[in-house]
A and B are shown apart, each in its own frame.
Chain A
Amino acid sequence: MSHTLVSLACHAYGIAAVAYLAYLVRQSDALAMAGRVLVGGGLVLHGVALFELLGAQSGRPVGMAQGFSTLAFLLLAIFLALDVRYRRPVIGAFLTPLAVTVLIPGLLMNGGQSPLPPGVRQPLLPLHITLALLGLAAFAVAAGVGVMYLLMERQVRAKRFGLLFSRLPSLEFLDTLNRRLVVWGFIALSITLATGAFFVASTIGWQWDGKSIATVVAWAVFAAIVNARIFAGWRGRRVALLTMAGFCLVLVSFLTSYDVTSSTAAAMRIP
C-alpha cells in the first residue's frame, strides 16, 4: 500500500520535474502551476505513506530506503514552501530532479525493513532522526540554490546573456535564500548533534567513527559559514561553495548512519 503511494508520488515528482525543466526553457505560468500542483499532490500521497509507515515504527524511519524516502519528502516540502512564498518556479528545475534522484533509491531498496531492536527505543530518537533529515534536506536545498548562484554568477561575470541569465533569479535573491536555509539547517544540525551525542554517551560511550567525524566536521563548516556571514560579511561564491562542501559532509554522515560496519550503528542494533 505505502509502496504504491510512494511510487505514485515519485511519478508525480518526475512529471513535475519535466514541467519545471520545460519552464526553464519556456516561461509559461501554466507549466509552473502544473509543477506546483504535481509536487503538492505527490507530497500528499507521499505524506500519507510515510505517516502510515512511520506510525507503525514509533515515528522513526528504519533503513536507508526509508531514510531516502523521508529525505526526498522533506526536500520537496521545503521547496514547495519556498515556491509558494517567493514564486520563483525556476528553482524547481534544479530541486525536483534532485528530489527524484534521492527518492528512486528509496523506492528500489524498499523491502529491507528490519524489526526495531529494543535497545534503541529512546523516546527522543524520532526527534533526533527527523531533525537530522530536516537539516539534511535544508542543506540539500541550500546546496541546490548554491549551484544556481554559481551558475548565475558565471553568467554575470562572463557577461553571457543567454537562457540561464534571463531565467535565473538575481544573485542577491539566491544568496539571501542560501543564508536562510543554512541558518535553519544549522539549527537542526546542532540539535541533532546534541541529541546524538547524548544517545551515544548513554549507550556505548562516545567513539570517533566515520559518522561522528563527518557530522562534527560538517557542523564546524556550517558554524563557520554562519559566523563568517554575520561577522565578516562573507557572501556569494565563497559561501555557495562552502555550503556545497558542508552538504557533502552531512550526506556522508547520513549515509554512514546506515552502514552496518559503522561501530556506532552496529552497536545501536545490538541490545
Chain B
Amino acid sequence: MELVCIGLSHRTAPLVVRERLALSESRQVEVLQRLAQSPVEVLWVSTCNRVEVYLSAPDGMLARERAVSELRALGGDEALDHLYEHRGEAALIHLFRVASSLDSMVLGEAQILGQVKDSFERGQGAGAVRGELTRACAAAFGCAKRVRTETAIGRAATSMASAAVQLASKVFDGLKGKTVLVVGAGEMGELAARHLQQAGATKLFITNRTLARAEALAMEVGGVARPFEELFSLLGAADVVVCSTASPVPLFTRENVGAVGKGRKGRPLFMVDLAVPRDIDPGVGTLDWVHAYDVDDIQKFVADNAAARAEEAHKAGVLVAQEVARFVKERALREGMPVLARLRQRAEAIARTEVERTLTSLGDGLTDKQRKSIEAMGRAIVNKLLHEPTSRLRAVGPEGEGNRLAGAAAELFGLLEAEMEAADSEASSMAPVPQQLATGAKR
C-alpha cells in the first residue's frame, strides 16, 4: 500500500482558498465515502490553517487523481495551484509533523493534535480509516505525545499579552482569586484583558482616561470599568497591573507606588508596562514587593522563547524522524512476516518428511537416543539455513528494501502463489504482494 498526502495549508494557500475547502462535518463524511472505496483508505484533516487528504492505496497515483479532482470540485482550479504533495515516507513524516504541531502557524500550539484526532475518528466512523491509516495515525499521536512531553515546544509564549500572563504565573500560583487592573483601554489593553480573563483572573478592573472606552471594553470582556481618578486606590487592591496608556510621562513612580505599599502588608504586586513611552518608572521595580516588567523585558522573554522554540523544534524534528523510522520498520516487519512464516512452514514440512523417511528406512534397530538425534538434526538444518534470511528480513528498516527482500524470498522459494491465496482471505489492508514504495516529496 502506498501512502500519499495531498493538501494545502497556511504555508501555501491564502485564507480565501482555504475557506472554500473548509467543509462541514457531514460534507466531509460524504467526500470520505466517495474517495474511500476498498481497499483505499482516506483521512481528511481540516482545520482553519490546512486541508489535507491522506490516502493509503495499492495504486497511489490513481487515488491521488481522484482526490485532486475532488479538491478541484470543491475549491476550483485556483486551489490546485496551492497544493503540495508528499508520498511514501515523506507523507508519513508530514503526518507526524502536523500532529506534533511542527507545521503549525504558531509552532507548538496544542489544538492541532485534537483536530487531527477528530478527523481520525470521523474517518473511522465513516469507514474510511481502517488498518493502515489507523496504525499510521496511532503512531503519529504517539509521536505528538513524545514531542509534547520530551520537548518544551508547547510551553512557549506567543504574544506580548500572553507573555505577560506567563510572566505573572511565575510570581503568582495562577490568577484565580487575584485582582487584575488594566490601565488603558486601547488595543493592547484589550488583548491583555482578554488573556488575563482567560487565565482565570477573578476580579478584572479596567480604567481609562475616557471612562466610556473603559466601559465598552469592560462590557466586552466581562470586567468592571472604574474612573481614572481611582487609579491609586485600585492599585492598592490589585495583584496584577497591566498598563498601556499613551501618557507621555510615567503614571507610576517609586514614590506614588511606594505610598500605596503601606496598606498592602508586603503583598506582592506584578506590573507589566506595554506602553512606549513607559507608564512605569524604572524605579518602581526597586521596591521590594513589586515585580515590574517593561516592553523590552517582555520582548526578551518572547525572544528567549523563540530561540528556545527553534531549539525545541529541532529536538522535535529528531523525535519525529525516530518515530517514523520505527513505524516504517515495524510495517516492513509486519509485511515481511507472512513470507517468513510460510518459508519456515515449508522448510519444516520438508525436514519432517525427510526425517520420517530416513527413520523408516533405518528400521527398528535405532535407539531412542539415535532417533532423537536424527530429528534434532533435521530441525537444526532448517534453523541454520533460515537463520540468515530471517535476521536479514527483520533487520532491514526501510520499507523498499524490506519489501524487495521479502518479494525475492517469496519468488525464489515459490511462495508467491500460496501468499496470494492466503492474502485474499485476509483483511484488505494488508499487502498481499510486497510493493516497491515511492519515497520523496514534490510540491
B155 touches A166 (CB 8 A): yes
Interface residues of B (CB under 8 A from A): 149-150, 152, 155, 169-174, 264-268, 288-289, 291, 293, 297, 300-301, 304-305
Interface residues of A (CB under 8 A from B): 26-30, 152, 156-157, 159, 161-162, 165-166, 169-173, 176, 232-237
A172 touches B172 (CB 8 A): yes
B171 touches A234 (CB 8 A): no
**B277: min CB distance to chain A, Å:** 20
A26-B150, A233-B265, A236-B268 known; A170 and B169 CB under 8 Å?
yes
28 contacts between A and B (CB under 8 A): A26-B150, A28-B149, A28-B150, A152-B170, A156-B170, A156-B171, A157-B291, A159-B293, A159-B297, A161-B300, A161-B301, A161-B305, A162-B304, A166-B152, A166-B155, A169-B173, A170-B172, A170-B173, A170-B174, A171-B171, A171-B268, A172-B268, A173-B173, A176-B173, A233-B265, A233-B266, A233-B267, A236-B266
Across the interface, which residues of A come within 8 angstroms of B152, CB to CB?
Answer: 27, 166
- Report the Cα distance A170→B301, complex, angstroms: 16
Among candidates B149, B170, B266, B267, residue contacting A165 with C-beta atoms closer than 8 Å? B170
Closest to B150 in A: A28
Across the interface, which residues of B come within 8 angstroms of A28, CB to CB?
Answer: 149-150
A-B contacts, CB under 8 A, total:
55
**B318: min CB distance to chain A, Å:** 13
Across the interface, which residues of B come within 8 angstroms of A30, CB to CB?
Answer: 149
A235 touches B155 (CB 8 A): no
B266 touches A171 (CB 8 A): no
- Report the Cα distance A30→B148, complex, angstroms: 13
Across the interface, which residues of A come within 8 angstroms of B288, CB to CB?
Answer: 236-237
Q: Which of B170, B289, B305 has the most CB of A within 10 A?
A: B170
A159-B293, A172-B268, A232-B265 known; A27 and B149 CB under 8 Å?
yes
Closest to B289 in A: A236
- Report the Cα distance A235→B288, complex, angstroms: 11
Across the interface, which residues of A come within 8 angstroms of B155, CB to CB?
Answer: 166
Closest to B264 in A: A233
Closest to A229 in B: B266
Across the interface, which residues of B come within 8 angstroms of A170, CB to CB?
Answer: 169-174
Closest to A231 in B: B265
Among candidates B170, B264, B267, residue contacting A171 with C-beta atoms closer than 8 Å? B170
- Report the Cα distance A171→B152, complex, angstroms: 21
Closest to A177 in B: B173
**A127: min CB distance to chain B, Å:** 35
**B369: min CB distance to chain A, Å:** 48
- Report the Cα distance A159→B152, complex, angstroms: 19
- Report the Cα distance A187→B229, complex, angstroms: 47
Across the interface, which residues of A come within 8 angstroms of B289, CB to CB?
Answer: 236
Closest to A167 in B: B152
